[in-house]
Amino acid sequence: MVQGKTAPKTPLQKSMDLLGKQLSFYSFGIIGIIMLVGWLQGKAILDMFTIGVSLAVAAIPEGLPIVVTVTLALGVMRMVKKRAVVKKLPIVETLGCCNVICSDKTGTLTKNEMTVTHIFTSDGQHAEVTGVGYNRFGEVILNGDVVHGFNNSSISRTVEAGCVCNDAVIRNSTLMGKPTEGALIALAMKMGLEGIQQDYIRKAEYPFSSEQKWMAVKCVHRTQQDKPEICFMKGAYEEVIRYCTTYNSKGQTLSLTQQQRDLYQEEQSSMGSAGLRVLALASGPELGQLCFLGLVGIIDPPRTGVKEAVNTLITSGVAIKMITGDSQETAVAIASRLGLYSKNSQSLSGEEIDTLDIQQLSQIAPKIAVFYRASPRHKLKIIKSLQNNGAVVAMTGDGVNDAVALKAADIGIAMGQTGTDVCKEAAYMILVDDDFQTII
């Protein structure tokens, strides 16, 4: 998708193209007029043609491309001093014309440093988690008591699912893998359960995608390989719950009722409204016969200085749109903290975007502050709809799923430290220190 997407022309390139067409038109006009006047005066046509061409050539500003290039190069040098790498000269001018910024949330507006702070089990237990970072320093506290190991089956089963259905590795407080998965491994470490991942042999994997919004693995216990496989799943609550038919209640497996579903939905909304990224966890013999285990709330704090930068941009007349794959509650909570969302603001989901064509979306996109549960194709559609309104759109991002939108935007801006190689390749500008304020 990224390779097939051509970069749009910058406002400067469009202006230069228009100037070239106008100069060509006027040049041919001058040549024609001079030849006509000379012919009427009885002069040689060839001489008049030579004079006309000479005047037309003289009218073309040959030094203009050099002046423009030097001016843009000076702009690039100034951007470098602000720790921004510009890959195309015209982007400097485009940045000055930008009036809409679409920004990915995770890793761009927030630090992408995930920490589990809350656990809600399927049988209604609420536990708080202390400590930050990808290490074992912290505790899981339930009703004032520390939970460790398997002394609470409901919590340990929830943590087990998050640890086994996981590809991340933490060594010496260094994460290798996705931050969300790293937060789950760190949670297991705080309970002394990080070794549980080695107790299972993975037989199959259903990788996470922004479309399905869940990941699952099929495993057998290393010491019980003759027993049936166990499936572990984690992901967005509304997707995981579809595969669940039962729930865990203090070690017992009970049928999942609508009352329980409503309770879990309410808890998920409550955690999301607090600005937490919410993951649902489940396990069972098959994908369609899973037992719901609980929810974990993960905090991802906003980047330092982003709120001030957002306020400056909005005051300057630049509209900022947050685009995220998180739930509506989480997206709105974070956007409100950053000053992107107010009482009269509107939000739109990826599912709602699917029901609209480009023209319909173009009519409402300028009014939307937050786009949630958005996939890469939704981001691309949002960019196109805003460009249809004549907006000069910048897109900021750091992940592989942002690459297509970065390529389609008038100016794609990637994060230098947390950004993926694919993301940096697709972008036209890279923020070396991931500082959103550099855009100003």
Q: Is 239 exposed, middle or buried (0-12, 13-18, 19+ CB in 10 A)?
A: middle
Number of other CB atoms surrounding residue 389 within 10 Å? 12
| 192 φ/ψ sector (left φ>0, alpha ψ -120 to 50, else beta) | left
145 carries an active-site annotation: no
8-state DSSP, 194: G
CA–CA gap between residue 426 and residue 400 (Å, rounded): 10
CB atoms within 10 A of CB 317: 7
**For the stretch 147-167, what's the b/e string if a residue is b when 16 or more beta carbons lie within 10 angstroms of its beta carbon?**
beeeebebbbbbbbbbbbbbe
Place of tokens 């920004």: 103
Per-residue exposure over 262-299, b if at least 16 CB sit within 10 Å of its own CB, e if not? eebeebbbbbbeebbbbbbbbbbeebeebbbbbbbbbb
Catalytic residue among 17, 47, 104, 354: 104
Separation between Cα atoms, residue 187 and residue 160, nearest integer Å: 10
Neighbours of 417 (CB within 10 A): 13
Q: Which DSSP string corresponds to 78-110?
A: HHHHTTEEESSTTHHHHHHH--EEEEEIIIIIB
Neighbouring C-beta atoms of residue 340, cutoff 10 Å: 25
Nearest-angstrom CA–CA distance, 161 and 264: 17
If DSSP codes are grouped into helix, strand and coil, which group holds residue 182? helix
Catalytic residues: 104
